[in-house]
Structure 1
Amino acid sequence: MAEQPLVLRPATPSFTSPLFTVKQVRDERPGRPAVAWLLPTPPAAAKAAQPVDLQGGTEAALRQFISRTLPARPTRYGVTLRVRECRIQETAAANGQAAGQLNVHLAFDWVNSEGRTITLTEYRGGARYLRPLADRAVVEPTLRQTLLGGLTYFNTWLTRAAAHDVRLATAVHPTFRFHTAQTEADTVFYDPARPLAWADFTGQPRPKGGRYAASVFPSFAYQGRPRVVNGVVELELILKVFVVRSSSWVGPGQQTAEHLNHEQRHFDIVRLVAERFRRKASPDSLTVEDYNSILQLQYLKSFTEMNRLQEQYDAETHGSPLAQERWNRRIEEELRQYGIKQ
């Protein structure tokens, strides 16, 4: 006589407002065997454990169990529940009883706003029981409470992770701040109110007869500080446009206003390039999955642009006051257009 299937009943969760709904259930157990292997009732007590499945099959029964257990309301995260293991194995125990061992392994997947499937977390649970051979009443409640434990675990995990786990974010909102505080002895950070002075050129002058009377060493960098707030990556980017004093030098007797203006324009060019880099890093251009690599690529492109402009500037202005004046006007106009200078 075939064993009657287990009828999995709905449970009552301890949480009232889950952050998730289960959109799909997938049975990924190898071979999809019966969920339970139970010892038969007397008088066939000597037989080995017999396969007993959930009524309607594992996927259908779990889908029905979840739909009846969790409230039907819109949630932020629709997930796929993958059943990696769900097995009850009984063995004979003393005093004519059956000893049951239940093991459950569940995985929770989510498809983010960019279409990428992410395994958020996994749950492993288990339980043991003893029952008389003639009474199977304990079997289904044990399975039911273990499955409810998996849903409770995931809701607790999700509640905590949603505040900080970048994988759960649905968008990136960058904000930018230019560092202007003069906080390092060997570094001058770009500040329109604080132009370069000859005192900033502390490097050893090059031998006489070289091409240049002075040389400045400007560059720029950025630091990112991401945090997840309500499913959004709030990305604070701190941009640093700077001159390294010890790498900047001026030759003896070359500390003229014209030469200082030339070196200041090198610094201004870097600030303009950094501004263009900032404007390229818009929310539409950044994805949750790849915002770091996108920023790095844009930074490398901007760094290349900076070097190209510096070389062009030097090549065009060397020995030409008229070209220097043209660059002065061009740079000043761009600084005002970007709001860097009034």
Structure 2
Amino acid sequence: MRKWQQYGFKGMVIGFFTLIVLQSFVVFPRSAQQGPPIIDPISLNVTSQLFVPEEYYIKGLIDDRTDRSPVAFLVPHVRSGSQLETVDLAGGAMNAVKAYLFGVLPRNEQLRPIVVRIKDLKIVESLHDAGNGVVAGEVFLDFSFELDRDGELVHLLDFQGGASYKRGVRQFYLIAPVLKRSINNSLKYFNDWIENESDKDIKLLRDVTIRIRDYQQDMKDDTVFYDPFRPLTWDDFTGRPRFNNYAASIFASIGYEGNSWIEEGKVIVDLTFKTYMLKSSSWVRRENNSYGLNHEQRHFDIAKIVVERLKERVRQLNLQPHNFDRKVSFHYLEAYREMNQLQEQYDRETAHGLNGGAQERWNRKIDEELARFGVK
């Protein structure tokens, strides 16, 4: 975690280490170097477990490499110059890495399932000192760790790192330990991160508690928030009348505000729903009456009904820490479209209030639904 903060990469760590192994390499006489050696695939054999994760298990891998050629470009002999030989991991790159991860980390499927996305995995060598038969190599890793939430992958952390090493020209057996150490570094870093963030990072938490309330505060300004004990009056219609045949018009709408925080290992989501009308966008002609005011009040009531339906749907949602905002936003947009459709249907069927029988039927229908939600 300290390295993450030090370099300022949010969710990313970049690390390299250098390994120089020269004490045991043998300088072969030139007569012994006539034929190029046969380079075996690099074996990531598992000799022991790395550690026991307490917060997760590795569920699987995704091969997201743009270059899926063999992972290693190796110097085969001192006469190769810049001509490198391609060598893959034994069994294929992804199969080998998967077997290695499953081997060095115990898999407790009661924990969080983590998918490792392999963006880059490469070993590139060059002839460092032809006279002494010294080869220099670099390992490059680019891994992404993602949480599997019911089939949806949630990005957690990126790791970019690797290693620099030197070997004798015949010491191909030194390559696998360097690669394994690079992979181990990525696992250790992710393990440290998730242990530190398991009860702090919102994407890692398991429980969401929704708190829903209505905004009813009267700011005594241009906005009137819905209050069943405060019906509309004509004084709330302060806009300039439009040039049309209607006697009055109301601008009624809905909205919501969301706030979230972590409390005792849970995500608390506080949602405030708003049903409101704008005075300056609502207007009335002088000759209107209480019948017309009721028609406009019913437009306001319809907006309130849509909000109550929305609140009912939100309470029934299976929200998770990584998607609660997206799901609530989706249902809000659906509710907004529903409100516009209901308002248009109401005006169409009542002929904008001119059809008294239809208006009475809508009055009863609206009152019944408001009563169902405990509004009136």
The answer for the alignment partner of 2:14 in structure 1 is none
CA 1:23–1:228 in 2, change beyond 3 Å: closer, same or farther? farther
The answer for the alignment partner of 1:163 in structure 2 is 201
TM-score (norm 1): 0.73
Matches within 5 A, 1:208-223: 212=247, 214-223=248-257
Distance 1:156 1:257 in 2: 69
CA 1:163–1:121 in 2, change beyond 3 Å: closer, same or farther? closer
| Pairing partner for 1:103 from 140, 147, 167 | 140
Q: How many angstroms does 1:31 deviate by?
A: 5.5
Residue 312 (1) aligns with residue 345 (2): no
**3-state DSSP of counterpart to 1:85:** strand
Matches within 5 A, 1:1-342: 1-10=37-46, 13=50, 16-24=53-61, 26=63, 30=67, 32-33=69-70, 35=72, 37-40=74-77, 45-47=78-80, 53-74=88-109, 75-82=111-118, 84-93=120-129, 96=132, 97-108=134-145, 112-113=149-150, 115=151, 122-133=158-169, 138-155=174-191, 160=197, 163-165=201-203, 176-183=212-219, 185-204=221-240, 212=247, 214-225=248-259, 236-252=270-286, 254=288, 259-281=292-314, 283=316, 288=323, 291=327, 292-293=329-330, 295-313=332-350, 315=352, 317-318=353-354, 320=356, 327-341=362-376
Gaps of 5+ in 2: 1-36
Q: How many angstroms does 1:128 deviate by?
A: 1.1
Gaps of 5+ in 1: none
Q: How many angstroms does 1:267 deviate by?
A: 1.9
Q: How many angstroms does 1:146 deviate by?
A: 0.9
Count of residues in correspondence between the two structures: 329
Distance 1:227 1:37 in 2: 51
CA 1:337–1:30 in 2, change beyond 3 Å: closer, same or farther? closer
Distance 2:265 2:334 in 1: 25
CA 1:259–1:118 in 2, change beyond 3 Å: closer, same or farther? closer
RMSD, matched Cα: 4.4
Distance 1:264 1:84 in 2: 62
Distance 1:217 1:119 in 2: 42
**3-state DSSP of counterpart to 1:150:** helix
Q: How many angstroms does 1:154 deviate by?
A: 4.2
Please tell me whether the aligned partners of residues 192 and 340 of structure 1 are also in contact (alpha carbons under 8 angstroms). Answer: yes
Instruction: Kindly provide the amino acid, as one letter, of the partner of residue 297 in structure 2.
Output: Q
CA 1:16–1:2 in 2, change beyond 3 Å: closer, same or farther? same
Q: How many angstroms does 1:143 deviate by?
A: 1.3
Please tell me whether the aligned partners of residues 105 and 124 of structure 1 are also in contact (alpha carbons under 8 angstroms). Answer: yes
Distance 2:145 2:265 in 1: 18
Instruction: Kindly provide the amino acid, as one letter, of the partner of residue 239 in structure 1.
Output: F
**3-state DSSP of counterpart to 1:63:** helix
Distance 1:138 1:220 in 2: 66
TM-score (norm 2): 0.67
